[in-house]
Every structure is written in structure tokens, then in C-alpha cells.
Amino acid sequence: MSMMKKLDDTSRAADADWWRGAVIYQIYPRSFQDSNGDGIGDLAGIVERLPHIADLGVDAIWISPFFTSPMKDFGYDVSDYCDVDPMFGNLADFDAVIARAHDLGLRVMIDLVLSHTSDQHPWFVQSRANCSNDRANWYVWADPKPDGTPPTNWLSIFGGSAWQWDARREQYYLHNFLISQPDLNFHEPQVQQALLDVAEFWLQRGVDGFRLDTINFYFHDKYLRDNPALPAAQRNANIAPSVNPYNHQLHLFDKNQPENLDFLRRLRAVMQPYNAAAVGEVGDAQRGLEILGQYTDGNDKMQMCYAFEFLAKDPLTAPRIVDTFDALQAAAPNGWACWAFSNHDVIRHISRWGLSDAAARAYATLLMCLRGSVCLYQGEELGLPEADIAFEDLQDPYGIEFWPEFKGRDGCRTPMVWQSNDPQGGFSTAKPWLPVPAEHLAHAASAQGGAESLLAHYRASIALRHAHAVLRKGAQTGLAADGAVLRFERVDAGQRIFCAFNLSDAAAGLSLPEGDWQPLGADLGSQPATGGTAALGPWQFCLLACASG
């Protein structure tokens, strides 16, 4: 089991910098563990499986939305910010998650969806009733153009116009996502205060921080200016699939507004007394790293932002990693990124990059050596590939809309597999909300008890990061690509760690920088170095340590 100590109120308050270099484990609650036999994961199931996460050695969990919701977008359409959807349990169940997590030394971060609500939220029900009620201005309403068409050319990430006509008010409302997800109007001070009160509610309940969904979508351009077209050569499908016309615009006015900075300062002030931390999800294909820098610069906004660069479909080569960090340094020299290879919105990286077992191990180790914080997605530690979901089993409205060119997000959201000898993987006693692929059963946690398993490798990689503060909080220097070999050093006042990763199927050699290097990470498969050189086979790596001068 993990050697992490129980987190009481004193220890939680002691380390204000706990988030820097932290490893955060994302739980998608619908698919983690079903405790009541309805085929859907729940909060009690999370409590049951928390020892697995603690045994990994991570610092915190991030729980995707569990709030009251009609589930048109599986919880990202909130109808009550301060309650638990009955599907997942109740507030007492959530309190049990907090208590058990803290007993196991895990901090708890929850997914706050502040940019929009469900159209069934009482705020929106009142707002849409007429133009004169107390919440009439709580959402983004606008008159049509003289010809009756929408006020701007803004597009929804889920396809089509971002504006929906409402006959009650004879106006359009803005929805950057589903029609059933109207956008809140952050230009209204009462909206900001209501959302800050939501954050305070959960902080008082014991949460240690937030993952902030679509953080750069909070504000819209108050002048309702059209977005300019984006030339085809500049289109980037990292945020929306290539078949989506959303990629045809430069999103200058429907998101990324400067007013957001002041709201983030207000949110940070609410979080500060609780020693809480936040990671903001920045969704922007052109300016993502620049916005990351704006939102994490200084000590008065967010601590981290979730970067999309390593969630892309393009192979993660050594040159691409160098380019990413160079761009990060140029756009956000004082920013702090949170890196991930997989999450609930993208094809699992084992399938996305076509990784062998050796490659999966190399990337897992690399992630723990790079500068920044880390998010792991449930099942990543088991090496789960993307599931192939038949159209008739699809649940995701995104996939249903763009099938078959884009199959949606269900393939990465299938249930966790705990037991290899159970057709449902030990997830549920009932038919799960998404099918458990038969090929996943060989990857189940019960089948990975050995020291040579990928699960054991993840544990050892995370342990390495925790054993050396320089890997969590130190500087990163000398980043370079020698062909397919990525090399860099992590440096602080007392230690240097040299890292080299051969990200290819061909053998490679490298020379070492000057230093009295000692081997590191032999239990992970780190290769030895002799005579100032190291030989790396396919997907091998070399980790070395020495005292810094």
C-alpha cells in the first residue's frame, strides 16, 4: 500500500505548494465502480476502490461531475450545483468519499462546470420566462439580426450555430456546447457571486481544489462581434474533430475574453483560506499555451492549466515534445502546465499512438519526469486501449451527431476492469451503461499483480517522482531531440537528474553531459551508462542522478 500519511486538517493546511508537480488521478464516476447494481458507477463505488488509487501513490483525485443533472452531456449539464445526482448517491456519500480519501492521504478535486448550466437549471427556467425577471440577465440573450438570423456567426463545439431561438423571449440564447447547455452571462455580477458561492459550498465540505471545465469560455465578447474565418492551413483539430466546422473560425470573441482574469482572481481569493488548488481546462487550438500563461502567471489566479498538446492524435515524438516546451516557454514563461496523455474526451493514448507495452512504459516514465503537474485517467495504469463501440450502443451525443467519421467519446469511457474472470470486469452485477469490451479483461487490475506488470510500472514511476523533489518542482534544462531520443535535465539546488528516452523502434546511442552520474530507476528498466555514453534499445530510457554544483 501507499506510504502516504493521512491528511488531517493540519497536514492539508501545511503545504500550500502541494499541487506543484502533483500527480492527479481522474475518476469518471459513471464508469469507475457500481455499488448498487444499476449498471452505473457511483460515489459509494469510488469509496470502495480508493485503495487502488492510493496504492498507485498519486497525490489527489479529480472526480468528473456528479451534480444533479438531466445527463444530456453526462453531468456536464448541471441542474443543481450544490447537490448530488441520485444516480451517484447523495451528499452523505460524497462526504464519505472525502473522509476515505483523506484517510488514505489523497486530496480531492472536483470538476466545476461554471461556463454553462443545464436548460433545466432553475436559474435558466426563470431567465427564459421573460425579459424582466430577476434572472433575466443571468444567461447570454440577444436579439436576432434584422433578417431573423442569429446575432453572430459563433459556432457550437457540438456542431451548428452556437445560438438557439427561444419563443418565450423572442431572443436567441448562447450555447457553446449542446442546445441544452445555455451559457451563463459572466458580465452579470450576480452570476459571478452565485458561482463563487458554489465554490465556497464545496470547499466548506472539504474539497481540496477544482478542475475547472472550459475555463476560457466563461466570458463572451459583450459587443457580440463575429469571429473571423481561419484559413484551412491553420485549422487544428485538437479541440474539435476535423469534420466539425468549429475549426473554420478563429475564436476571438466567443471565448478567451480579458475580463476573465478578474473573475479568476476572485475565485483564487475564495480558495486561498482553504489552501485549495485549481487546474483550468483551456480549450483553444491556436492560443492554448498563451492563455495557460495568462491564467497561471503570478500567485493571484489559477495554479495550473490543463494542456491539450499531449492529448493530440499526432504521435508524441521527441521533436514534438521539444517544440511544445519551446512554445510553452515563449508563450507562458511563468506558467504551470498540467500534462495528460488520456482523459474522458479523447481516444486513449495506447490506441491513439499505437503503443506497444515497452512504449507504454517509456511514456509513463517520461510523464513522471517532465516539468509540470500530471493527470492520469482511470484505466491508463492498466494499459486499456480504446473500446470499439457499436453505433447502437453509443451514448455520447457528440458521436451520434458526427458518426461515422467521428465516433464520439464513449470508447474511452467504458467501465474500469477490476476482475479478469468476470464478463463485466467486476464493475457491476448488472449490464453496464456502456459495454465492457472482452479484450479489456486481460488488462484487469486482478491480472496485474506481478512486479513486471504495467500497473506495477506506474506505481514505480510515481514513486520515483515522489522520491526526488527535483522531478516535481525543479527546473528543466537542456531539452533537446537527438533524432528520436529526447534528452533533458531536471535541476534544483541540490540535485541533477539526467533523462533520455528513445521514443522509437530503432536502437540509439547518446553521450552524457559532464557530471558524476549514478544510476537511477533500475527497477523501472533504466539503462546503465558507461564511459560517458549510453546505448538505448527501442523504447528504452536512461535516468541518472548526481549532486548539483
Residue 143: active-site member: no
Q: How far is CA 276 from CA 53, 94, 197, 218, in A?
A: 20, 18, 15, 21
Kindly state the helix (H) or strand (E) to which residue 280 belongs, with its residue range: strand 277-281
Q: 470 burial class (0-12, 13-18, 19+ CB within 10 angstroms)?
A: buried
Nearest-angstrom CA–CA distance, 546 and 549: 9
Identify which of 109, 107, 100, 140 has the alpha carbon closest to the alpha carbon of residue 123: 140
Nearest-angstrom CA–CA distance, 399 and 390: 11
User: Which of these is catalytic: 34, 85, 213, 380?
Assistant: 213
Residues contacting residue 289 through CB under 8 Å, at least 6 positions apart: 307, 309, 327, 328, 331, 332, 335
User: Which of these is catalytic: 183, 254, 281, 290?
Assistant: 281
DSSP 8-state symbol, 263: H
Helix (H, G, I), strand (E, B) or coil at 359: helix
Helix (H, G, I), strand (E, B) or coil at 49: helix
Residues contacting residue 467 through CB under 8 Å, at least 6 positions apart: none
Phi and psi (nearest 5°) for 202?
A: -75, -35
Residue 170: active-site member: no
Q: 96 burial class (0-12, 13-18, 19+ CB within 10 angstroms)?
A: middle
Residues contacting residue 106 through CB under 8 Å, at least 6 positions apart: 4, 7, 50, 53, 54, 58, 59, 60, 61
Identify which of 75, 71, 72 has the alpha carbon closest to the alpha carbon of residue 111: 75
Residues contacting residue 145 through CB under 8 Å, at least 6 positions apart: 151
Q: Supply the residues annotated as catalytic.
A: 213, 281
